[in-house]
Structure 1
């Protein structure tokens, strides 16, 4: 009874009071506002979720898989029957700030409204102005396929009471404008914590500033802890190199793959240099302030000296046959004639040394392909080995990488590889 009253009170304005049809006010947006809205939509990577593969941009109905079933994105074009044609800027602001549709429905948190609630009203209006300037497309949103009771309005109301509170951006007066701009982008439209924050059993992440890392459900990639230098390198990497990685997807010491590669390709590469630098400044400050953990004694104990002779021999053979030609005998990698990294060094590579080996297994199984960007238009790739290598081969070669060249990371087991392969349905 107490919980029911609390949920009703918490969602009174969003659940119990049906939204009345909003009059569509005349749009008098300036071209500069529309241009700013386009830029902000790129920063938020809106196109990625609201466009089906090969479909009309922003027309929605792309399936987003969750542990609780499928959610289909909405049509953001100004079509009056299936899109935003009957919405006004206030309706859009309610969706961004409260996670509530113009018809009063509570939206599923697959739309990261905890992060969009950070966005200012001015920026929300600019995004809406740009969306209203797009060609209308008739495409009704497909029905969600969430298992009961997930997706019902009462269940969403309970979830919101437990895990959602609008987080309008508050400047840190002790920081300069550049730092605050970076914080605004990372916490808001960038919604970095949507991936780089651990999720609980009900799919909720930490606060919008939580960058402590975690395994991304369904897609099964590990998003590194951005506050630990051992995982992200942000505290010790020069700012120009961080900016380069965000803009091109590659630097001398790192390369993006998987979901982060898609973010670089579809969003980050289009941002202004000043905004990328602001994000880098903010992220680096978070990593430098964080207390770095002590070395894991148990992990150290499972290092090179504890690997069986059979696994060590097998791993060395697979490396020589599959990896050495590109990554070098000592894991030194390979550069092009112009000095660009063609194949990254594996020796000292933070991705190799992550305690969670999920990303390494994914790369070996399904290949490594960096994003094609203006600053790095022809990235070298690594072919998939999903049909070529058995699980014990993959476990052995990854253990080889993690225990050679001074590395002291934990052994990768066949069971770990098997579980990751099974999670992807292969």
Structure 2
């Protein structure tokens, strides 16, 4: 009896210790939050905040299609359920009207709402924690200048236990630590500015860094590529020149891609097209050049190879026939494309990278490059999901990955069946 009681006391002590540890990790470095409301912000501060909101692509998540800007309500699908974005307009009942600059800073830096609730990392405070207090205050000033919209926030649709604050506290204890941005004195001013934007407001890691089963970023593989689990697009590695690394490009070509969505090497499509459309095309040449300076200095790390079955001659022959029927008119008999209109497929790294998901998505869904000042009327590609069966899509994709000297692995019909199944869930 005494032994059982002793064991119970030890278990209770360990449990209480773990709870205290998790609680401490969730409040470390937090300072008291004041309720002081600022005077009317200057036009210069509001303009700075508007620019930073574009750098952070805030409107993309906080605006429902066709709805009032920044009024929230957009559903962000995750493997754990749907998280709905909040109302960032200055409405007192449903938005930021009663938030002080300190409340907003705490949300950005610590991931905690005005009422003290822990925020879900679909709001990427894991990256925004690097944003300076000055930039946070400028963002706050801009959001306070918007017309207030009375739009109540929607409750998140998350399964158990993910919807509980206790589970979120444990996740944060494992994966989140508030950080203060520190410039690296050994690096140039441009590199430091680029690192600040890429690691902070740009939150590039949110898509381009692999995550584990609990949704935590893999700190050992920063920016090395990730399959976006719900969208079924692959955010390619920024450290591999064979995927999305820009180490071998000129700085001018890399800046051009971020500003216009196209250059002689690539065309931006999929989720990244929205990033260029809503965010990077609006950034200054100086900031885009700084981001490129940082990205080009990343250490080269080849992406992990994707296992593939050997190609089947019959499938490749069928794919060549389908390419001639449906693709060659735009992309050319030899995959040469049409400059300024249709991208070349021969030598295109989006075709040859180890992960074929984006090529599959383009064949199934079609798509457009973003409309930008430098590419105002982009040519689009129609979807073929209703014209081609799964085995035909697999055949044409496999042909593209083997034609014109390409040596990428084929795609099987089973891959397409799995992809469509995931897409319908």
Do they fold alike, i.e. is TM over 0.5? yes
RMSD over aligned Cα atoms: 2.0
Q: 1:419: how far off?
A: 1.2
Corresponding residue of 1:290: 300
Corresponding residue of 1:217: 229
Corresponding residue of 1:307: 311
Among candidates 140, 155, 161, match of residue 143 of structure 1: 155
Corresponding residue of 2:368: 369
Aligned 8 A contact 1:368 1:381 in 2: yes
For residues 411 and 393 of structure 1, what CA distance do their matches in structure 2 show?
13
1:378-397 equivalences under 5 Å are 378-397=377-396
Aligned 8 A contact 2:29 2:178 in 1: no
1:2-401 equivalences under 5 Å are 2-12=17-27, 23-207=35-219, 210-286=222-298, 289-292=299-302, 306-335=310-339, 341-401=340-400
Cα 1:297–1:189, aligned 2, differ >3 Å: closer, same or farther?
closer
Give me the TM-score of the superposition, normalised by structure 2.
0.93
Corresponding residue of 2:424: 425
For residues 105 and 356 of structure 1, what CA distance do their matches in structure 2 show?
39
Q: 1:343: how far off?
A: 0.6
Aligned 8 A contact 1:14 1:104 in 2: no
Q: Secondary structure at the match of 1:234?
A: coil
Gaps of 5+ in 1: 336-340
Cα 1:181–1:141, aligned 2, differ >3 Å: closer, same or farther?
same
Q: 1:274: how far off?
A: 0.7
For residues 396 and 41 of structure 1, what CA distance do their matches in structure 2 show?
43
Q: Secondary structure at the match of 2:401?
A: helix
Q: 1:291: how far off?
A: 4.4
Corresponding residue of 2:12: none
Q: 1:170: how far off?
A: 1.4
Cα 1:172–1:185, aligned 2, differ >3 Å: closer, same or farther?
same
Cα 1:293–1:210, aligned 2, differ >3 Å: closer, same or farther?
closer
Cα 1:160–1:141, aligned 2, differ >3 Å: closer, same or farther?
same
Aligned 8 A contact 1:14 1:100 in 2: no
In the alignment of these two chains, the number of paired residues is 410
For residues 154 and 117 of structure 2, what CA distance do their matches in structure 1 show?
16
Q: Secondary structure at the match of 1:65?
A: strand
Cα 1:227–1:111, aligned 2, differ >3 Å: closer, same or farther?
same
The list of structure 1 runs, each at least 4 consecutive aligned residues, that deviate by more than 4 angstroms after superposition, is: 12-15, 291-294, 296-299
Q: 1:27: how far off?
A: 2.4
Q: Deviations over 1:177-209 (max 9, x none)?
A: 011000000000000000001111111223499
Give me the TM-score of the superposition, normalised by structure 1.
0.92
Q: 1:418: how far off?
A: 1.4
Q: 1:13: how far off?
A: 6.0
For residues 209 and 82 of structure 1, what CA distance do their matches in structure 2 show?
39
Q: 1:9: how far off?
A: 2.1
Aligned 8 A contact 2:245 2:295 in 1: no
